[in-house]
């Protein structure tokens, strides 16, 4: 089932981000769930030339529950221009404390 999800993902990247597809300039980040690390999935990723970003085990910085927070932060910061990384950090912190 997960290989089918990956096939659809590849097709969507090809259609929606053709510049990234041509350059091979996209990475897949998934966690260390058994379905993501099985032999069938690893073979599919290799055969499809999909580059993955390794996910550190039990990383508090990359907890899956936090992935739901990022789209909300992005929505609230959308369209704004920032001068420095510090300004981005301060604004993001304000959004998180709301």
Q: State pLDDT tens for residues 3-33.
A: 999 999 999 989 998 888 888 878 888 777 7
**Same domain for 48 and 67:** no
**Same domain for 12 and 48:** yes
pTM over 0.75: no
The beta-carbon contacts of 10-16 under 8 Å, at least 24 apart in sequence, are 10/48, 10/50
Domain hosting residue 70, numbered range: 63-98
Residue reference for tokens 């529950």 = 65
**Same domain for 49 and 89:** no
Q: What is the pLDDT of residue 61?
A: 63
**Same domain for 67 and 52:** no
**Same domain for 36 and 3:** yes
Count: domains in the chain: 2
Q: What is the pLDDT of residue 8?
A: 94
**Same domain for 80 and 51:** no
**Same domain for 74 and 41:** no
């Amino acid at each position: 089932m997960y290989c089918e999800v990956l096939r659809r993902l590849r097709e969507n990247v090809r259609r929606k981000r053709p510049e990234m597809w041509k350059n091979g300039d996209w990475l897949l980040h998934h966690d260390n769930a058994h379905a993501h690390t099985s032999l069938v999935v690893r073979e599919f990723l290799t055969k499809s030339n999909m580059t993955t970003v390794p996910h550190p085990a039990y990383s508090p910085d990359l907890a899956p529950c936090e992935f739901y927070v990022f789209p909300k932060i992005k929505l609230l910061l959308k369209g704004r221009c920032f001068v420095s990384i510090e300004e981005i950090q301060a604004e993001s912190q304000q959004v998180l404390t709301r």
